[in-house]
A and B are shown apart, each in its own frame.
Chain A
């Protein structure tokens, strides 16, 4: 009966209660959103690369190398010579190597030149191998394998001809339109930047740039398809490469060897260490966001508390009636706590519902704009802890009006 009384009493004051509910809902929405995006971002980043022991690129910051080689974020500072790649991969400790050549795009999606080893050795998440939804890996120079999202968004099927653009801008005026690629494979979704990537062979990348200089096509170069077949399509440089080693114990030794490579300034990074560096960098931002969200929530809690406290004055006769019916003062205390709890629980449901709706709406936007693949799952352990903290905090803050109700009940006659 106390529950029914609390609900009916709140409904009776629906004007002020709705405003408090709204404030509380928004604050819980913000809290859950910050936590969810933080969690999903970490999961996304952590799941993007798996089983890669070292990433090697031109000397730069480890974060920059990690971001452009794995996450396709930002641009490489410099290329490394093919000879360097060959020297390093000839090390006895190297089990496999995946070369990466970046710099072209297709309708805003990045093109990655690589070798067939990519489809064999690259893994994501908890060591999931890449799988083909349709077709197979590239075999010819002008074959292309599409990431799942590229195929889905652009509606490409096997056998379709596509033209790559020079550079990584969404809209490019320098097109490799004389040498179109044929879609020969489409990968299954991975939830990583692989989904937004077009994969071609290193020879394909070399072929489309063979008559280009300084990023500009040489007019009437006169190269025919037959000339291309005869041409040496061995790449002269690549952007970076990933290494898998025979033994994990050798990782630091190989890293040191690469970092000391004399012929060219290169750097080898451990993906996990670089990711930790990234987390450390964004921890301040994360904590600030969480703090701001928590403050917004506390403000909403105090708003509910103030609303309930103001209602006590209006409810003097109600309290008197309850007392005369035999309700002890503790019942009044519990009634007001219950009202605060109901507001908080309804706000939790509304806030979570609102966030789910927003994530469902913005899911594709996050994926295309930020490469963030967000799962609509609010029931993570952290979110549950957060909601438990929210409920506990509202109960604690509601002690102020509840005590006022208790004291009022003691004095009622």
Chain B
């Protein structure tokens, strides 16, 4: 299993009476491509925070790629995230003042990979695979179009060869043409690298790209908790 959640309960420290997550059990097989949808404020980002190790549950077990995140300390979770998890946001996926290459080098800097000799080649190969033109590699990413930025964002998320890719509403700021282009680039890359993909969005029209389609409400049982 790529993800296993058991008896998860979560609320933010400042609002102890407002439970955000109550997940008795949920899992995602390795190599699966799952689409989870839900309304805004429904706990999607909190779920992703738990899976990436930025948050820890009040109760329960979070197992990602066979490792218990809830028993790791903060530094261990940071290292685990850098080495194993790729992440794409809706926006601000890149340091706007760094160029595309430096953005990817920054991402590799936090992982424990020691492949500096081949890093540059890997980055160039990834850019080529994602149809990022060479003249776009060395300009600050804020000078790129939104579509181009999202492609560099995919490259940034994939550069450390993560086993799990988390996408948090990555197409929300794209128009239909760019959204389709994004999905048509992303899905083959995920398949090629045999990654597990957890894609969270409120845009149900994207569900056709996925083998597994779920609503957060199906496994987040807030009524039981209250």
Which residues of A does B touch, CB under 8 Å? 1-2, 4-5, 8-9, 11-12, 317-318, 320-321, 323-329, 331, 412-413
Contacts and interface: CB of A to CB of B under 8 A. Distances in A.
Interface centre among A2, A9, A12, A329 (most CB of B within 10 A): A12
A412 B78 CA distance: 12
Contacts of B49: 413
B37 interface: no
Interface in B26-61: 45-46, 49, 52, 54-55
A9 B82 contact: no
Contacts of B107: 325
A1 B83 CA distance: 17
Contacts of B74: 328-329
B97 A321 contact: no
Nearest to B93: A321
A8 B97 contact: yes
B111 A326 contact: yes
A2 B109 CA distance: 9
B110 to A, nearest CB: 4
A11 B93 contact: no
Interface string B122-155: 0000000000000000000000000000000000
Contacts of A323: 54, 78
A324 B81 contact: yes
Interface residues of B, number: 30
Given A321-B89, A325-B82, 14 more contacts: A2-B109, A5-B95, A11-B97, A318-B92, A318-B95, A320-B92, A321-B95, A323-B54, A323-B78, A325-B156, A326-B79, A326-B81, A326-B110, A413-B45
Nearest to B159: A325
A321 B75 CA distance: 16
Contacts of A331: 110
A333 B111 CA distance: 19
A346 B96 CA distance: 24
Contacts of B6: none
Interface centre among A1, A318, A320, A329 (most CB of B within 10 A): A1
Contacts of B93: 321
B92 A324 contact: no
Contacts of A327: 78, 82, 110
B94 to A, nearest CB: 7
Contacts of B187: none
B95 to A, nearest CB: 7
B174 interface: no
B75 A328 contact: yes
13 contacts: A1-B105, A1-B109, A8-B98, A8-B102, A320-B92, A321-B92, A323-B78, A324-B54, A324-B87, A325-B82, A326-B79, A326-B83, A328-B74
Nearest to A330: B75
B106 interface: yes
Contacts of B156: 325
Contact of B54 (A1, A12, A317, A412): A412
B54 A325 contact: no
